[in-house]
Structure 1
């Protein structure tokens, strides 16, 4: 049949129906294509054509009514003419209204063309060599095959870009969370780390959704700025810790092979005699200087609790001791063993022992071990207690009383 109608059977004419349709021309490079290859590419590019998986299921059923695997325009018209009942049966009992809605979606997308007969029926009429079919024309799948393939490649490129961005954002979020935890341990007084930790948590929740490229790029920029801020703050903290270390760690042994003549004198020339020691001790200024030195020396009070009471309240420390804990030295040895397992650095532990005393620091570690899961930053907590002890504001009895209330 030479005439191609514009209207469909018992359907109103729309302005879109008057738009020029792509002509079915045979490509010299690809005269025939596989119908399953077209369906596979459409499955990848379905979003660009506004289709769903259900639409493609109906299209797959329509392709199954075409005999053969290849769609060849040179062989004649590619028109299939199954009835609605037959189509629904091939679609495993899909309701007819649902099937017709999906067919209308495929027609509006330009992937199928209706070839309606004068009475709206679908059939094939042959008269000698002449063959006229009324139904659905599959020729747009051939004429638009290049367009479909390009859309599928663009969809694959977009999916790859999204996958790469999601991986990058996920790794940046993990690094930000780790830096926030480290910063909270090194500088617990700074409020920056809580904000960075919250940002990492919110980013993890955001990644649960299906994000587009623009949203992922915005997240990547935000995380990059946050990582730069965290690294800058940690570098300042490292420099501060280096400057605050004691001079004893920087001392070096100086040895000279040259012998000074002034040093060749006997040590007896420099050692004071007993009588001179007595005279110096009797001097008032000497007694006053000794009293000042004694008052300026740090005094660490003994623990305000017995070793047996520590064992009763914090029996977990016994698991890390080589022998039963019966004295303060054995408790201190057990604290030295458990300290690395609790994630406490050597500097924090040394500072705690110097400010509050070794025995008191061991008792604090035993109390922390008892409720270790409740401390978000054990190192920061111990550093804060050590600072209070250095200022004279640390009270071990109050800590023990709180522990007794919790145990009760």
Structure 2
């Protein structure tokens, strides 16, 4: 997920929403991004929990990212872990480049302002490097999620091929070994190697799936259960094929296109998380694609919405959901429902954006 620093120069902020004091990314979003990217950063869950405790000590409205909390305070917020563990976790975070320690002569953490108020010395844990790298960390998190999806696909494919071999030969030792191997944690390379050892190409695996899907159509009338099941599947398949046409007919044609100004006004939560100024439709779409995975929206769901709604309307939907995502239990399921699912017939991104814009104006 792409983010913007809380201390971004005022000149880079183009409107009132982007220059608000609450432009700092929400703590839970930052932590969730780092947790997802943890395999690439080399961080354990315990270290990330300590980082979350440090973030909880930062004021919502501030002009710096320095944590002044003592080890006693951090230990309390970490449910009583030892002072030594706090120091070790801080050293780890410094090694991976997420914080810098500024120690005072007496090892206390505090800030000291100059007489004219223009300068300040801050001694503590400076988290500025982490906020500077949020865009990079978000890219790593998206890469991890893509790899997980690929592993899930390969594992399913391996299991299908192995089960097909067991149908032909229940004593197939290779297939049994492969199924036991799937109990372990595997990488993409491991899965690809297992497929190669099975010596079954993709065409064969797909042919097996095609044969199984066709078999129910050859059943006689005496196999009523299977025929009814196939009949139901056929209806659902037809519904899914016709649904986009139905939805296109029911979406109001009179809705005016969404402008970038409207989008920035309606969705300040999404706007402030962008590292660059949003000025073109391409910027809107690119930012939505970085936001979607970190909100729990899969790439497949986003691509389906892109096909049905178009690039701008799908991106605007992601921006809008970001504005009130805390009120949604399952963001991914909600996104699918309103874009391609049961509630898609009545959904209009334009109306949602304008309702949010009106709410922002009333709040102001």
Measured against the shorter chain, the TM-score band is 0.3 to 0.5
TM-score normalised according to structure 1 size: 0.43
Q: Quick check: which has more Rg, 1 or 2?
A: 1
TM-score normalised according to structure 2 size: 0.48
Higher relative contact order (CA 8 A, sep 6+): 2
